[in-house]
Amino acid sequence: MKVIVGVAGGIAAYKACHLVRNFKEAGDEVRVIPTPSALNFIGAATFEALSGNSVSTSVFEGVDEVQHVRLGQEADAVVIAPATADLLARLAAGRADDLLSATVLVATCPVIVAPAMHTEMWLNPATQANVHTLRSRGVTVLEPASGRLTGVDSGPGRLLEPEQIADLARMVIAGQKLPRDWEGKSVLITAGGTQENLDPVRYLGNRSSGRQGFALAEVAAQRGARVCVVAGATEELPTPAGAQVVRVTSTEEMAQAVAEHAPQADALIMAAAVADFRPASRAGAKMKKGQDEAALNSIKLVENPDILRTAVLARERGELKAGMAIAGFAAETGDERHSALEYGLAKLERKGCDLLMCNEVGVGKVFGERHNRGWLLRAGEGEPEVTEVPDGSKYEIAGAYLSQVLRALDQRSLHG
């Protein structure tokens, strides 16, 4: 794939180096086109070394090749990170006064723009109008993160992390758009695995990385939703842009957090790998070899609360929004009696939720991986609807799943 990485003149330009490397390591051909001011932050030699291609900023360089036309025509995607307020304004106006803006004007491929600027500039009506204009023309303008900016300032306007930009860009390039169809709606998402303490050192857990839950949160936020994530144990993943993240450890803590935040949500998506059992008792000090052999050799377990089923019952009792959509994930393995899909269908009926994504898990399958696959199970008046979900990135799975949750939400609103 031929990717043009555009870089505007902002302090966040250094992150573009990591973005270029991300695409290169995936096997893509990368051409970096900085604006002239971007070279005040990162030298051309750095971009040339990382991309393996020469760098120019002006339409008057390589005139014999008509660069501004050829580059735009041949690109499979244009990804601009960071995009300053000035560049957004020039793109919205259709300007072509440097090589980057001219290339964008020629490009018919997906154009993905990741803004970065101070909060006041991002929220300024002029910038927001330019963003609206670009989106109306089919340009994907990502929502920036909220966090530390230059100096002591903090707030929305921080550039997304390179990994987030690359994953969202690949999703758009693969054909999944980021429409603003979740605007005005709130979604509560659980992510990661829960850990049940045996003593202050040891715990019972699972291999969940939290990637699928965080991908759901990121895509939902980019589609305009108000997002709250209840996160258990996760890898060091970037915080989804604009999302509120509530950190928990155990299943009981997750259940409490869901109960607290669910009444405000239009949809609940249980993507966390929740522990079904916890130790009946927990040692107050580290169990020692030789001294606690009985405790180490025999651990009594008790069932954890069923968070998904509890939410469904709460909706039926009128404690949650009547039109609330409730969806979940089922991590299953097959055995000599039933397949993973059959166990997933049984779980859909038992839980009573609207949707269930069934994954067949195991070593090297789904947990900790960047891709996912399985079956989408939808409850109905008769037999449940089963749709096979082919292998795709967790961001692609998130986009497709959120569309199905939105469909369930619309149907509940229609009949509610």
286 a known binding residue? yes
394 a known binding residue? no
DSSP string covering 96-109: -SSHHHHHHHH--S
Tell me which residue has tokens 């964008």. 104
Region of 210 on the Ramachandran plot (φ > 0 left; ψ -120 to 50 alpha; else beta): left
**What are 206's two structure tokens?**
């699972």
97 a known binding residue? no
Inter-residue contact 274 to 257 (CB < 8 Å): no
Q: Kindly give, in sequence order, each residue whose CB lies less than 8 Å from that of residue 248, ignoring residues fewer than 6 positions away.
A: 194, 230, 231, 232, 254, 256, 257
**What are 147's two structure tokens?**
């966090």
276 a known binding residue? yes
Region of 66 on the Ramachandran plot (φ > 0 left; ψ -120 to 50 alpha; else beta): left
Cα-based distances in Å from 331 to 311, 347, 348, 365: 19, 10, 12, 10
305 a known binding residue? yes
Distance of CA 275 to the CA centre of its chain: 23
The burial class, CB within 10 Å (0-12 / 13-18 / 19+), for 298 is exposed
Active site residues: 206
307 a known binding residue? yes
199 a known binding residue? no
Q: Kindly give, in sequence order, each residue whose CB lies less than 8 Å from that of residue 293, ignoring residues fewer than 6 positions away.
A: none
**What are 51's two structure tokens?**
């991309």
Overall size of the chain counted in residues:
416
300 a known binding residue? no
Please enumerate, by residue number, every residue annotated as part of a binding site for CTP: 276, 286, 305-308, 329, 347, 351
Please enumerate, by residue number, every residue annotated as part of a binding site: 276, 286, 305-308, 329, 347, 351
